[in-house]
Structure 1
Amino acid sequence: MPDVLIPVHAIKGRGTATRLAHRFEKDTRADWDDGWGTLEADAAEGRPLLETTVSFEDARSAIVRNDSPDIFFDYSLNPYRGCEHGCIYCYARPTHSYLNLSPGLDFETKIIAKRNIADMLRADLGKRSYVPKLLNIGSGTDCYQPVERELRLTRSVIEVLQQAEHPFSLVTKSSGVERDLDLIVPMAADRLAAVYVTITTLDPELARTLEPRAAAPHRRLRTIRTLAEAGVPVGVSVAPQIPFVNDDMEKVLEAAWEAGARSAFYTVIRLPWEVAPLFKQWLALHYPQRADRIMARIQEMRGGKDYDSDFASRMKGSGLWADLIKQRFEKTCHRLGFNRQRVELDFSQFRPPAAGQASLF
């Protein structure tokens, strides 16, 4: 990867400030001061807000099978490529490189929607070889990011799962999941659905820079309460844990428990491929005085590297600092009562969709 360049300024509403060249790109370019003060002028005046564009693709299948031993679900489904939430730490950013797009600003502003995702899901479920197992929606990019309000692809997926009585779990940072309670609540009553809401921090200022277009922390807590009061099994994800950045894990867990969450999990920050230089840019921009200290702790959990993809440690890290985070999480969960009863979904109700069933569109 090229040397990390420090952006001149943050872009309002975006997680990263650059269109970092992806790892397959042959040519890289960067702004440089030509002596006319143009960079300083841009910083003083501010650049125009970047608009989000949406393009469409026809997926060849809907379900991705998981063979990673450190992931709790067997299948995953993502209606969108890219995510407007703009979380700077997102491990899915490098997937935009395969589209010849930047994992930086392009990942946040160029969203690809799989417009036939519901039809492909129905076809996958109808195959004779299909065996129902736990299917997770939104494991890569958030299935309730802003564009879902209009496109309703996630809702169409849940409708197919409801018709087939297929269990699923769902992970989101968005209050948009509340829109689909009319589908999720009856499925939850039949042990066919569970929802997990990610709350990285309760600090609104930190959340605004770390996850600029995701729902505010207090709004996510309200979503947990709404789900729990409706009878939906709801958990909280306090991921990722970033040393010296979001150090309020205990407070997040306490607030989530009070709101009604009864299960919890965490991961430590992962910096694969282009995520590492993007995150270093973000640190230099927002935490210049402690950037080196933060990266030193991250590298300490990764055997001295920015990232280690070993299945045994990629989610939780290793070493003293990783052990400390683990102890904090486990002791807080034990004190509050998290994870005492596992959510068991019922796969015996699954009914393959009828052949030739009409499209939802």
Structure 2
Amino acid sequence: MAATDFPAEIRALRATLESIEAVTDVPALKRTIAELSEEASAPDLWDDTDKAQAVTSKLSHAQSSLERVTSLAERIDDLEVLVELGEDEEDPESMAEAEKELVKIRKALDSLEVVTLLSGEYDERDAVITIRAGAGGVDAADFAEMLLRMYTRLAERRGWDVKVLDTSYAEEAGLKSATFEVKAPYAFGTLSVEAGTHRLVRISPFDNQGRRQTSFAAVEVIPLIETTDTIEIPESELKIDVFRSSGPGGQSVNTTDSAVRMTHIPTGIVVSMQNEKSQIQNRAAALRVMQSRLLLLKKEQENKEKKELAGDVKASWGDQMRSYVLHPYQMVKDLRTGHEVGTTAAVFDGNIDDFIDAGIKWRAEQRQA
């Protein structure tokens, strides 16, 4: 095996980092941190809790973004020193350590490069994800629950906050639907590539004849509304029904009419919320998600009009965007990017980072094209 050309590799790492720094706009990021730090130190900041949380969250994200870039620059410098010492002293252990660190830095740069592709209007936002069981009966409901676990496990590993807003349980097993909120910087931009129809092929555990079953689940990802967004919904356009919560619950969750079903009459969009303790809390949560869906619908309509004017006839990406095959072989394959793995158990345990990264790169290429 040929020896690694460390000087060339380190030059390549620095060139990649420089391009990332240019896209990130480090000077602007430092100015933003200074401005937010000044806001965060104001004595009356916590008089407005919502504003205070928004400022501290933005500051934390900006500081993390800067730290990711600066720490990589330091790691590349340290790698160069390690290589020089290893070569001067002809130390094979130092050179082996340098090889390992080179691989780690490359991977970190790849991940950072993916983040720089999240430049959409709402990519920085928190995300609201809804999973719905599709065709396939009880297997589809079970598949919907498997996807919910997959995304919550992903969030746990990444340190993201997840709040389940609504769950509708199927009669035999699994879920008819589930809606949850993911609070993290760039949650929407990162997870929006998961939107579409997911397909599962397996021997059904619910079929006493052990037949193979194909089932489907739909994943919807929308950006969470912010107080600065101007989505006003007249009361006359909303129909609100209250009902008793269903499924597992404790205390007063399923003993009072606290659940809320909100319908936007002009579009027919329906949002249900039942996981908060009071009707008022469920109504507020439903309104936020309704505003988010209407915001995304407005954006989609604007994009559709632009595409029609430009004569763009490319199909939108959605149906059967990923297949999960458990029989007769083991494979998970993204039908847009071609990325596939044979470790199905790991995927359902939330190890889908490579699928997400490939999806973000694919989307960027589609936008450029």
Answer yes or no: same fold by TM over 0.5.
no
TM-score (norm 1): 0.21
TM-score if structure 2 supplies the norm length? 0.21
Larger radius of gyration: 2
Using CA pairs below 8 Å that are at least 6 residues apart, which structure has the higher relative contact order? 1
1 or 2, which has the higher helix percentage?
2
